[in-house]
Structure 1
Amino acid sequence: MNIKFPYRSGIESLPSIYEHLKQLWQVAMLLDTIGMPLEDWCPPADTPDNARRNVAFDKNGPSPAAVAIFHEEEKADPSEKFRILGVWNGKEDDGGAVLLHKLSIASNHSRSSFELNSKGVQALEKKENIVQIINTLLEIFPAPFIQVSPPPYATRHAVFEDHPGVGWMLYLPEILTPAQVPEAPELIPVLDKDNKRKGTIVVSVPNETFSVKNKEHVKVANAIEIRLADQDLLPRFSNL
């Protein structure tokens, strides 16, 4: 299951690598509580075995080894406008996951983005865990939406090319009601720090894990996308 979104950072200069990594650490800390161990995450290297020799995070934040590795990478290919940091959980094939954060300054035309890409991670196949992750991501990033779907959905099954797909779940900064989206079997309110409603998680399949192999799952997600687009509630990538 993949969780991703683009966003505009609004920053005028890049933070330190430590501060940049700290945002991924915040996500990793949450993932640790749902069964994806903090100590599994490792920074990049030339081989998987070499990557596993270093840990990216500990309970206090990004590790000195990870910061040093990314410093060396940046020296080799410096940029003042954007930076991409990624960590891997050390597992190949099923159970594998990658956290990626591209950070771009406000004057750069490129958008910032966050991605959690995974394959066969059981913790990411539970609805309650995904809802918890979405709420945490909204505390860290100014996400204009958050889409959750298996990898093939966005490229092969979504209705629109210039809109995010609903897939399994889609967070929108809109207060949606069942009357607006009757095709959605579940709408989960999202609250801000003052306990006021700030958005909605639209869920296409409430009682099982979404699968593109299930035609009914895809049919429901597509119907929700069309309904949202008809009401101009589905954002366009080109407008972000």
Structure 2
Amino acid sequence: MDISIKIDIELNDQLSLQTLMSTFSEMIAFTDLITNNKELVWYFCGDSLEEALNQPAFKDNYPTLFFEERQYIDIIEGIWSSENKALVIKGKISSLKYNLDFDLREIQSIAIDKIKDILCSYLKKFDVFCIRVDINDYEYKSRNVFPDRLPVGWMLYLNKKIMPEQVPMAAQLIHIDNEKNHGTLIISTDHVFDGENKDDIKKANEIEIQLAGLGLLPLIREIYS
């Protein structure tokens, strides 16, 4: 089972090294909760496996000197773990937006409540304009309805208030209303979504069609312009 989480954050100022390390550290803690493995060692990418293994980025949730020695201007390269079939975190700064992609591969079980709780905690800490959670390449393999609009997949957060009567087919709507964000986390299924399952794909498609018909599903260019 592959899980992909994309968290897009509005930056009020240029992303500092301290904020970047803190964000990565939180995502690593997220990985620990899902994999039940608190002993993963994280590395920067290199031209060879040998080179990469000599460049640890984090260990025991703390950044190493290799992290502080690197220069970050626009692109934040990925960090990865050698265990559990490549756990990857990568990010990119674009204008005043920070895009964080978080991929876990071949994870056998996922604690749904943990994921929801952690995403809600991020929505309290950061100015988030979009969150997408995808399982088994629903978006990557273009199983969504509208190629030019955001996919729903398993979970989609939008800075819009969406009511249950507007998308009654959604399994759950979590309303977010705090100092940072005012919107809704849409959850398509109450079980772990599978981007290869016909019923799950149908459910996500139905939500996308309903949201688009109500003018609530943004175009990708509207979100990332």
Equivalent position to 2:11, from 6, 9, 12: 9
1:144-190 deviations in whole A, cap 9, x for unaligned?
Answer: 12111125211320111222111111122233222111111222333
Match of 1:87 in 2: 79
Give the structure 2 partner of residue 223 of structure 1: 206
Runs of 5+ consecutive residues of structure 1 not aligned to the other structure: none
Does the 8 A contact of 2:84 with 2:106 survive in 1?
Answer: no
In structure 2, runs of 5+ residues without a counterpart are none
Post-superposition offset of 1:104: 2.9
Shift of 1:210: 1.3
CA contact (8 A) 1:21 1:85 kept: no
User: Does the 8 A contact of 1:225 with 1:234 survive in 2?
Assistant: yes
Higher helix content, 1 or 2? 1
1:171 partnered with 2:171: no
User: Does the aligned pair in 2 maintain the 1:14–1:104 contact within 8 Å?
Assistant: no
Give how far 1:10 is off. Answer: 4.2
Q: Distance in 2 between matches of 1:29 and 1:130?
A: 12
Partners of 1:132 and 1:122 in 2: CA distance = 20
Q: What is the CA–CA distance in structure 2 between the aligned matches of 1:49 and 1:137, rounded to whole Å?
A: 34
Pairing 1:108-187 to 2, within 5 Å after superposition: 112-122=98-108, 125-155=110-140, 156-187=142-173
Contact 1:38-1:57 at 8 Å conserved across structures: no
* Pair 41,115 (structure 1): closer, same or farther in 2 beyond 3 Å: same
Cα separation, 2, equivalents of 1:128 and 1:223: 24
Q: What SS does the aligned partner of 1:153 have?
A: coil
> How many Å apart are 1:88 and its aligned residue?
0.5
Q: Return the TM-score normalized by structure 1.
A: 0.78
Q: 1:32 to 1:186 in 2, by over 3 A?
A: same
Higher strand share: 2
**CA offset digits 1:84-141 (Å, max 9, x no partner):** 1321122363xx21111112334xxxx5311101212246x33112212312332444
Structure 1 pair 102–45 and aligned structure 2 pair: CA distance change class (3 A): same
Contact preservation (8 Å) 2:40, 2:83: no
User: CA shift at 1:36, angstroms?
Assistant: 4.5
Select the residue among 182, 192, 196 that pairs with 1:198: 182
1:51 corresponds in structure 2 to: 52
1 CA distance for matches of 2:177 and 2:30? 18
Question: Displacement of 1:65 after TM fit?
Answer: 2.3
Secondary structure, in 3 states, of the residue corresponding to 1:29? Answer: helix
Cα 1:129–1:157 shift into 2, 3 Å: same
